[in-house]
Structure 1
């Protein structure tokens, strides 16, 4: 495999301490990116950053002031930002009748407000990077979900939040293009991936992750975090310079399959 696909680029990943976020950090680092990990879990986040030679910041993505402070530090450290992965998230499984307003707002605050704040305050650091360092410009990758595309019955707050991310991604992409910022903005919509969140939902919290085999997978298989991280890497790289405003399912065909 060609090395250095994001060599020299500065990448910030929210929720980077475990699961998809950790895999994103590792994959981007493997291909030469300078990594900034943020998470509410300081112990695990610091371990990821240390292993990758990056920096860690404790971060509640709902906190506007914290976004400003972290991005100011990123600017001091690196002079700018090339890749932003808005990955931090949560999910509570409960039907709409049992979903409290507090739980509904919690999902919107973490997913939608967190992604909004990240894009809003990162865009100035990401603008015009191609002129400064060369390459195909900056890339924002927002984490949506197949829940934004399909009707899952017991996660109304999560589906609402992920649907908002999908729509907001398109708006941000067109704005950055119209303003010639040199920033692309796309979203991924993962299906079932073997992460701590999925383990908890399936009653396997604290167990060792299920081994995901190499090679083709059957229709009902879970994916590995690296399956999503490979797509993050591609969207972050200059190879994807002609992809903008997309919401891409990463789901082994789940969204395409007819269900009766």
Structure 2
């Protein structure tokens, strides 16, 4: 039986671990021709081998790196159908702690990297055989709506919303059949977080209380939202924000 993204050429950044790894596994299972793009060659190649994906080394903050990926896709595949702009880092520094180098590095990955990915994807998708078309899904965060003290991270994820809307509107008004949306995970139980919780089990209660559903999300749930937006089922969705956070951004702060 054909999958929901059968034979669609798909690039997933930050696919070596966490939510990105979950996306790689789901999109491969759904028949996608997946390119796993990451700076972590060892983990990236391992995940790619397990899923029958193709690993490509990519620093998302590098303009030349994206240019090389464009050339590879054009030569080896002749088209791009899906981009999941997922790579990102945290700084964990407040406005009083942040230094300019840390600020610039985080913004170069979390925001400039998403812009470069969108630009490369639109260049490729507008020239797809049979007419322009494709889906771009940018990973933002609940911090796009509700701030945390990590000033660079919060700023970057708020910026992803504006970037997503701008690219979506540009593609739509040009008549390109290229959709652009953002997803907004909350606290998600990645392998890294599982390791932290194993070391400090008391943290689990605090993480679970972050959503009114009383639990953390699973990477598979975030991947499922990305799959929906990438598939033809979301053909009239563009410029939108899609939370996957158990109601976190809908709840008024609790009294106790």
Tell me if TM exceeds 0.5.
Answer: yes
CA contact (8 A) 1:83 1:139 kept: yes
Helix, strand or coil for the counterpart of 1:97? coil
2:41 paired with 1:36: no
What do the CA deviations read for 1:65-114 (whole angstroms, capped 9, x no partner)?
01110121122121110000000000121221111121111111001110
246 and 45 in structure 1: CA distance in 2 versus 1, 3 angstrom threshold: same
CA contact (8 A) 2:121 2:136 kept: no
Determine the structure 2 residue equivalent to 1:219.
213
2:62 paired with 1:63: yes
Which residue of 143, 164, 167 corresponds with 2:162? 167
What is the CA-CA distance between 1:249 and the residue it aligns to? 1.1
229 and 73 in structure 1: CA distance in 2 versus 1, 3 angstrom threshold: same
Determine the structure 2 residue equivalent to 1:213.
none
CA contact (8 A) 1:24 1:229 kept: yes
Structure 1 gap segments, 5+ residues each: 211-216
What is the CA-CA distance between 1:33 and the residue it aligns to? 0.6
Determine the structure 1 residue equivalent to 2:173.
178
CA contact (8 A) 1:129 1:182 kept: no
2:147 paired with 1:151: yes
2:74 paired with 1:75: yes
Helix, strand or coil for the counterpart of 2:137? strand
Determine the structure 1 residue equivalent to 2:237.
243
What do the CA deviations read for 1:107-132 (whole angstroms, capped 9, x no partner)?
11001110011111121211254825
Q: Mean alpha-carbon deviation: is it higher for 101-110 or for 83-92?
A: 101-110
2:142 paired with 1:140: no
Helix, strand or coil for the counterpart of 2:181? strand
User: How many Å separate the matches in 2 of 1:23 and 1:247?
Assistant: 20
111 and 95 in structure 1: CA distance in 2 versus 1, 3 angstrom threshold: same
How many pairs were matched up? 245
What is the CA-CA distance between 1:58 and the residue it aligns to? 1.0
CA contact (8 A) 2:15 2:36 kept: yes
2:239 paired with 1:230: no
TM-score, scaled relative to structure 1: 0.88
User: How many Å separate the matches in 2 of 1:158 and 1:203?
Assistant: 22
Determine the structure 2 residue equivalent to 1:214.
none
TM-score, scaled relative to structure 2: 0.89
User: How many Å separate the matches in 2 of 1:237 and 1:170?
Assistant: 19
Helix, strand or coil for the counterpart of 2:153? helix
When the two chains are superposed, the root-mean-square deviation of aligned CA atoms in Å is 2.1
Misfit runs of 4+, over 6 Å: none
User: How many Å separate the matches in 1 of 2:90 and 2:180?
Assistant: 24
